A and B are shown apart, each in its own frame.
Chain A
Amino acid sequence: MELLSVTDFLFYVFATLVVVSSALVVLMRGPINSAMFMILALVGVGGLFFLLNAYFLGIFQVLVYAGAIMVLFVFIIMMLGAQERLNLLPRHKYIGFLGLITFAVVLAGFAYVLSSQSSFSDLDLNTIEVATYSDSVDYSDFTTSVKSFGYSLFTKYLLPFQVAGFLLLVAMLGVVVLSRRFKATNREESK
């Protein structure tokens, strides 16, 4: 077997890590165990982003997805005390069986599409040009700089950017409203 290059070897390492961790998310019993393996899977995907030369996205993924969203999950699990060691399979056995069949069907569907697609292997990695931002460069070429993110976000994707900010505001309002104590409405009916 010929020696793999470092990036190829790292791809196999991260890919194995991600697949094993995500399988364990599904299979582990307690929710905290699933959360820990989910964090590991997300960090593995961040490593794969580094291999794809998307360095900013790799750090963004680890910081935001694994570092904020999953930490929120862990907070909620610990707050609710949701450590009930439920059995893995649902109460009715046929639900687990149907779930496995759906998994197999979806995976077979992907395999069919990927095997009939012959043009993926034609795409090669381009050498990444250093962005000079002169007038003649195409701004949507792949670069590794953060500057190109900012450029695209404020010109081509300005509307989704503003809408995403609005969405975050609405989500914050929704969370505040949902966390209120709802008093019983019996008093209003008796007046």
Chain B
Amino acid sequence: MNIGLDAFIILASILFSIGLLGVLIRRNVIVVFMCLELMLTASILALVAFSRYNDTMDGNIFVFFIITVAAAEVAVGLAVIVALYKRLHTVNIESFKQLKH
């Protein structure tokens, strides 16, 4: 394969920036959460690319743990969102103002 490591890292950084843009701009809290997962996916792409080009297995192993943590985080986060929805009946992040001073 003639694709260098540069291309994968550029792709991972573009993905990360798009995820960051989504977290900052979207108002639906579920879509914000999805863009957070997109940032995690960008980081695991960079990890696997570095692991392949450096001839090591450690990056691949670490992806396991990242996906595990992402799964646990999504489960708990969505439970929190559901509990919040039951109270406030909206998923608009601009109406979550209870902690505002």
Chain A residues within 8 Å of B, Cβ to Cβ:
5, 7-8, 11, 15, 18-19, 22-23, 25-26, 31, 34-35, 38, 41-42, 45, 48-49, 51-54, 56-57, 60-61, 64-65, 68-69, 72-73, 76-77, 79-80, 82, 84, 86-91, 95-96, 98-100, 102-103, 106-107, 110-111, 114, 120-121, 123-126, 139-143, 148-149, 152-153, 156-157, 160, 164, 167-168, 170-172, 174-175, 178-179
Q: Given the known A-B contacts A5-B1, A25-B35, are A52 and B52 also in contact in the complex, defined by CB atoms under 8 Å? A: yes
- Number of chain B residues close to chain A: CB under 8 A: 72
Residues 69-85 of B, flagged 1 when their CB comes within 8 A of A and 0 if not, give 11111111011111101
Interchain CA distance A143-B76 in the complex, whole Å: 34
**12 intermolecular pairs with C-beta atoms under 8 Å apart:** A15-B7, A41-B41, A68-B71, A88-B25, A98-B24, A100-B21, A123-B4, A149-B64, A153-B64, A164-B69, A168-B68, A171-B72
Known contacts A11-B3, A31-B30, A86-B92; 6 additional CB pairs below 8 A are A19-B11, A34-B31, A42-B41, A54-B48, A60-B64, A167-B72
Instruction: Classify the secondary structure of A's interface with B.
Output: helix
Shortest beta-carbon distance, A126 to chain B, in Å? 5
